């Protein structure tokens, strides 16, 4: 008799987009002190998305300030040109967008060959079928809950069935792979995403706008996600 997989631990993964860019090292330390599980760097090249953010050197300059893992979400037009730089900068996880390369299988394989863990991201309009043949290559699948490019956007709740579809496909194949959501996630939206099967929770604006501070925001979002996960699996 097959048994349901045990619930996956909830991880809180802050985006540093809302942080003070003049003090990124200190901001990373504050996030680590607040109890986050890893830090997400939203890498944007002004081509794949209409915004420009962090090069590898910026991330490398923050690496020694904290011990939590770094993940780089490559919102870039040609990720293959940049993979080595972000791995060398100290990113433990490198996420490539399914839409950003015609040879996604090769790109994800290269990330692991370089010594990092691979992730694949899906924009809101991209179906799960776009990644069904690479799920064995990744440590995580990121289901974007906004159109990428900017923080502070409204959560897209119609992505929740897609989260559930990814989770079900991974469980059906017995793959030990996390599901991440990113965009507009906060106290009022995290429950739907976690109940649908997301266990990596990216939050940026919601963490920084909590009047009780980062530690409270991290704990609050984590507890809401765990309650929703457990309510969905009982
Ligand atoms: O990745 C993106 C946009 O590309 C954002 O979703 C940020 O990573 C987090 O945004 P908020 O939590 O502030 O909505």
Q: Which fold has domain 11-232?
A: TIM Barrel (3.20.20)
Residues in the chain: 234
3-7, 139-143, 157-161: range with lowest mean pLDDT? 3-7
pLDDT of amino acid 77: 98
Question: How many whole angstroms separate alpha carbon 49 and alpha carbon 150?
Answer: 9
Say yes or no to pLDDT of 233 above 70.
Answer: no
- Whether 182 is a known active-site residue: answer yes
Mean pLDDT of the chain: 96
Q: Is 15 annotated as a binding residue?
A: yes
Provide the 3-class DSSP secondary structure of residue 227. Answer: helix
- Whether 45 is a known active-site residue: answer no
CA 151 to ligand 1 center in whole angstroms: 4
Say yes or no to pLDDT of 2 above 70.
Answer: no
Q: Is 183 annotated as a binding residue?
A: yes
Q: In 72-198, where does DSSP find H-type helix?
A: 83-88, 104-113, 160-172, 190-196
pLDDT of amino acid 6: 81
CA 1 to ligand 1 center in whole angstroms: 41
CA 2 to ligand 1 center in whole angstroms: 37
DSSP letter assigned to residue 52: B
- pLDDT tens readout for residues 163-213: 999 999 999 999 999 999 999 999 999 999 999 999 999 999 999 999 999
The angle formed by the CA atoms of residues 139, 144 and 145, to the nearest 5 degrees, is 135
The overall pTM is greater than 0.95: yes
Q: Is 37 annotated as a binding residue?
A: no
Q: Place 36 in a pLDDT band, splitting at 50, 70 and 90.
A: very high
Maximum distance among all Cα pairs of the chain, rounded to whole angstroms: 56
Which of 42, 139, 178, 210 is catalytic? The answer is 42
Q: In the chain, where does DSSP find H-type helix?
A: 24-33, 56-63, 83-88, 104-113, 160-172, 190-196, 205-208, 214-233
Q: Are 65 and 36 in contact (CB under 8 A)?
A: no
Q: Is 197 annotated as a binding residue?
A: no
Question: How many whole angstroms separate alpha carbon 104 and alpha carbon 17?
Answer: 26
Provide residues with CB under 6 Å of ligand 1: 15, 17-18, 42, 75, 146, 148-153, 182-185, 202-206
- Can you tell me which atom of ligand 1 is nearest the CA of 44? 4
- pLDDT tens readout for residues 147-159: 999 999 999 999 9
- How many Cβ atoms from other residues are within 10 Å of residue 11's Cβ? 18
Domain ranges within the chain, ordered by starting residue? 11-232
């Amino acid at each position: 008799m097959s048994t349901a997989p045990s619930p996956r631990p909830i991880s809180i993964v802050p985006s540093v987009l809302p942080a003070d860019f003049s003090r990124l090292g200190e901001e990373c330390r504050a996030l680590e002190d607040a109890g986050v599980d890893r830090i997400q760097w939203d890498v944007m090249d002004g081509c794949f998305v209409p915004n420009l953010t962090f090069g590898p050197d910026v991330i490398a300059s923050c690496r020694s300030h904290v011990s939590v893992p770094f993940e780089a979400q490559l919102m870039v037009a040609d990720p293959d040109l940049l993979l080595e730089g972000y791995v060398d900068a100290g990113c433990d996880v490198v996420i490539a967008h399914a839409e950003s390369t015609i040879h996604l299988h090769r790109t994800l394989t290269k990330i692991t060959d370089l010594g990092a863990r691979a992730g694949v991201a899906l924009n809101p309009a991209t179906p799960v079928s776009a990644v069904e043949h690479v799920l064995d290559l990744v440590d995580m699948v990121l289901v974007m809950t906004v159109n990428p490019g900017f923080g502070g956007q409204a959560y897209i709740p119609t992505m929740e069935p897609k989260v559930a579809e990814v989770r079900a496909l991974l469980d059906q194949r017995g793959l030990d792979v996390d599901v991440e959501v990113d965009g507009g996630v906060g106290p009022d939206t995290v429950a739907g995403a976690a109940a649908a099967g997301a266990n990596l929770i990216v939050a940026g604006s919601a963490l920084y706008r909590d009047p009780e501070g980062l530690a409270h925001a991290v704990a609050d979002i984590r507890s809401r996600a765990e309650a929703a996960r457990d309510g969905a699996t009982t």
